[in-house]
């Protein structure tokens, strides 16, 4: 072997290892399979539980141990996966303390809790005859490649997982709506689905995008106004617990974004959180503030990714449902074909047995001395009846006839045999009819699922469109903005300095300094707003102001006037209102609510005395110049040096 063949590049080796790892995580850990909607650990748990199934509960610790025969990973991970399945209340019937998804309380230890498969799981997920099998990791046991799932389980339970380079987030949907959608899909009608959550809430699904990447859901808690000073939260958004929601409310209150007096958690079987409001608080505004600043409203980004055809694929929920409906139809067809074959075989042997006994063919073998002569004698005795059968009579059939016990022959009832054959013929006819009308049969199957298992599974999440709450409109103004004019700082902690106005902690500050610069910064305990500020205020985009300014360009340049508005700004960026020349100075700055008010603003510009300068006082009205944007440099009003600018005629 050459040296080139003996050595492998380290980079190539790591590249191969990483690819193997990525493939393993995607296919074996993080992403569910389209066929049965399960990840491998979930599939192995259900298979282990089916092997243990005897109608009684099993300790979860026992289920974990049996699952490890198929799943070579830690017991804690398996137990957590079992708890996750059990909390969805669809496939596993639970007993004991399984935790609470509403409050976030964990389940008890595996040795204290018990589980068994539900009737629904036994009906839709298992059939040995239609299951494709493979060997377990150690070759000692058989395990299913996928379970023969006759229901869109993936959409009912939802799924989440993070793999290498991709993520999966499929949201749960309503059981009854899924069944109805499957029926619609089988009838080739349009299918539309939106999620439904066990925790209820109010959902805006206008941007759901069929569950694909780029879509978005907004889900709100159900908040009721009990009294003027009391709000009651009775349902929480998906993925939010009562504990995390309360923490978010307390945090928002501490940050000054909302005002509450106290909060109580009375949650038991259903969510019940009381939010007490301080006197003078409008409950409608307080509710909107909860939506704006707490987990009472959350945004969820779905990303429907499944394993199909041996690779990850991004499919919309409507496409997933259609494929699941067609898979169910195919599985039902396979079950019918298997059943038809079994019925035909049973009819074949029952008819053979009847002729063998009624025609006393068994007596013909009394004189036979060899096994072959026995077979030939029976075959000869059946020869004239062969046209009655749907398939050829084989040697195996004859061998089975020889195994009939004398007791059965002696007690043979011809009438009962005829009734049994008639029943088999009716069952065969019914099965063949179902195969010819497969879609109708599949529809009846889903209708029966709905009738049998749909009770108590009505939609809990209300679907509604709602506008996003404008934070600036509902935030509580709990702070006072102070200004340190000497050092150029503003904030709510500078309580010894000049008070400007009330503000909230999400507001922005707009500040203009004497060197004709402007900046917008976020309100903080202490924020720099520029040296020698001439105007500082809370910046409100929905309440635009008009500014009038007179400034000198540089140390000896002309004096200009400008009347302007401030539009879009970037926070913390310094904007030059003049030409940016060193030594620029503002002599007059005023703020107005309306354009008319700004036009009527008058000032007197006092010039410095100079040779041949007769008039040192010149009145100026801002209505003489047009209203422009922030970037306009302004109009020259004099090239002489000025002493001061006085408002009005002073």
Active-site residue set:
112
Cα 61 to Cα 64: distance, rounded to the nearest angstrom: 5
Closest CA to 173 of 184, 183, 181, 163: 181
Residue 506 and residue 471 in contact, taking contact as beta carbons nearer than 8 Å: yes
Cα 461 to Cα 456: distance, rounded to the nearest angstrom: 14
Residue 314 and residue 163 in contact, taking contact as beta carbons nearer than 8 Å: no
Cα 215 to Cα 582: distance, rounded to the nearest angstrom: 51
Would you say how long the chain is, in residues?
650
Residue 131 per-residue DSSP state: -
- CA 607 to each of CA 302, 344, 579, 590, 640: distance values in angstroms, whole numbers, following the listed order: 68, 116, 22, 20, 7
Cα 23 to Cα 36: distance, rounded to the nearest angstrom: 20
3-state secondary structure string, 48-71?
HHHHHCCCCCEEHHHHHHHHCCCC
Residue 219 and residue 202 in contact, taking contact as beta carbons nearer than 8 Å: yes
Residue 502 and residue 481 in contact, taking contact as beta carbons nearer than 8 Å: yes
Between strands 617-621 and 92-95, the pairing is unpaired
One DSSP character per residue, 493-511 reads: S-TTSEEEEEE-TT-EEEE
Contacts of 539 (CB under 8 A, 6+ apart): 507, 508, 509, 510, 520, 569
Encoding tokens for residue 639?
Answer: 């090239």
Residue 541 and residue 606 in contact, taking contact as beta carbons nearer than 8 Å: no
Closest CA to 471 of 320, 256, 215, 201: 256
Residue 304 and residue 320 in contact, taking contact as beta carbons nearer than 8 Å: yes
Encoding tokens for residue 135?
Answer: 């060997």
Cα 382 to Cα 358: distance, rounded to the nearest angstrom: 12
Residue 520 and residue 501 in contact, taking contact as beta carbons nearer than 8 Å: no
467: alpha, beta or left, given left = phi > 0 and alpha = psi -120 to 50? beta
Contacts of 453 (CB under 8 A, 6+ apart): 119, 120, 175
Handedness of CA 498, 500, 506, 510 (dihedral sign): negative
Three-state DSSP state, 467: coil
One DSSP character per residue, 345-413 reads: HHHHHHHHHHHHHHTTGGGGGTT--SHHHHHHHHHHHHGGGGGGSSSPPPHHHHHHHHT--HHHHHT--
Residue 618 and residue 563 in contact, taking contact as beta carbons nearer than 8 Å: no
Measured at the CA of 647, the angle between CA 643 and CA 650, to 5 degrees, comes to 75
Torsions phi, psi for 546 (to 5 deg) = -115, 130
Residue 152 and residue 63 in contact, taking contact as beta carbons nearer than 8 Å: no
């Amino acid at each position: 072997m050459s040296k080139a063949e003996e050595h492998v590049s380290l980079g190539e080796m790591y590249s191969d290892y990483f690819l193997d790892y990525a493939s393993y995580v995607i296919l074996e850990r993080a992403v569910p399979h389209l066929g049965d909607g399960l990840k491998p650990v979930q599939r192995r748990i259900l298979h282990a539980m089916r092997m243990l199934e005897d109608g009684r509960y099993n300790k979860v610790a026992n289920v974990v141990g049996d699952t490890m025969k198929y799943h070579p990973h830690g017991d804690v991970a398996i137990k957590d996966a079992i708890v996750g399945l059990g909390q969805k209340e669809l496939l596993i019937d639970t007993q004991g303390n399984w935790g609470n998804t509403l409050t976030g309380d964990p389940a008890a230890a595996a040795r204290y809790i018990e589980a068994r498969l539900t009737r629904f799981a036994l009906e839709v997920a298992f059939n040995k005859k239609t299951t494709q099998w493979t060997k377990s990791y150690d070759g000692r046991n058989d395990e299913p490649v996928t379970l023969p799932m006759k229901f869109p389980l993936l959409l009912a339970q939802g799924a989440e997982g993070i793999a290498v380079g991709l993520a999966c987030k499929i949201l749960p949907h309503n059981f009854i709506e899924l069944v109805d959608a499957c029926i619609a899909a089988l009838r080739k009608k349009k299918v539309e689905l939106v999620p439904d959550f066990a925790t209820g809430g109010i959902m805006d699904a206008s941007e759901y995008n069929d569950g694909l990447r780029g879509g978005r859901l907004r889900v709100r808690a159900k908040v009721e106004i009990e009294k003027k000073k009391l709000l009651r939260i009775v349902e929480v958004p998906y993925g939010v617990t009562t504990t995390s929601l309360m923490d978010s409310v307390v945090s928002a209150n501490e940050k000054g974004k909302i005002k509450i007096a106290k909060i109580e958690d009375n949650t038991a079987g259903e969510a019940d959180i009381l939010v007490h409001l301080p006197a003078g608080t409008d409950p409608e505004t307080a509710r909107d503030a909860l939506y704006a600043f707490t987990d009472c409203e959350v945004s969820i980004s779905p990303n429907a990714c499944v394993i199909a055809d041996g690779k990850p694929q991004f499919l919309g929920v409507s496409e997933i449902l259609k494929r699941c409906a067609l898979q169910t139809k195919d599985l039902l067809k396979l079950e019918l074909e298997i059943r038809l074959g079994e019925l035909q075989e049973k009819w074949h042997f029952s008819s053979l047995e009847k002729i063998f006994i009624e025609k006393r063919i068994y007596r013909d073998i009394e004189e036979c001395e060899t096994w072959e002569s026995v077979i030939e004698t029976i075959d000869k005795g059946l020869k004239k009846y062969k046209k009655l059968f749907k398939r050829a009579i084989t040697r195996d059939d004859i061998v089975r006839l020889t195994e009939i016990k004398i007791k059965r022959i002696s007690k043979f009832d011809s009438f009962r045999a005829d009734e049994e054959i008639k029943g088999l013929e009716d069952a065969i006819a019914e099965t063949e009819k179902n195969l010819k009308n497969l879609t109708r049969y599949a529809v009846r199957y889903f209708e029966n699922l709905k009738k049998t298992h749909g009770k108590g599974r009505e939609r809990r999440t209300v679907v509604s469109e709602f506008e996003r709450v404008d934070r600036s409109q509902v935030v509580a103004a709990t702070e006072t903005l102070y200004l340190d004019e000497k050092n150029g700082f503003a904030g709510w902690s500078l309580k010894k300095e000049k008070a400007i106005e009330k503000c909230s902690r999400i507001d922005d500050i707009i500040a203009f300094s004497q060197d004709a610069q402007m900046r917008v910064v976020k309100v903080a305990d202490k924020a720099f707003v520029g040296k020698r500020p001439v105007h500082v205020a809370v910046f409100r985009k929905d309440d635009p102001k008009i500014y009038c300014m007179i400034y000198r360009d540089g140390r000896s340049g002309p004096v200009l006037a400008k009347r302007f508005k401030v539009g879009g700004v970037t926070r913390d960026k310094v904007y030059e209102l003049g030409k940016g020349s060193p030594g620029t100075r503002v002599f007059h700055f005023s703020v107005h609510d309306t354009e008319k008010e700004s036009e009527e603003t008058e000032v007197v510009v006092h010039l410095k005395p100079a040779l041949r300068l007769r008039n040192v006082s010149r009145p100026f009205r801002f209505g003489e110049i047009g209203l422009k944007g922030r970037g306009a440099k302004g109009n020259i009003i004099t090239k002489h040096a000025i002493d001061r600018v006085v408002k009005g005629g002073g």
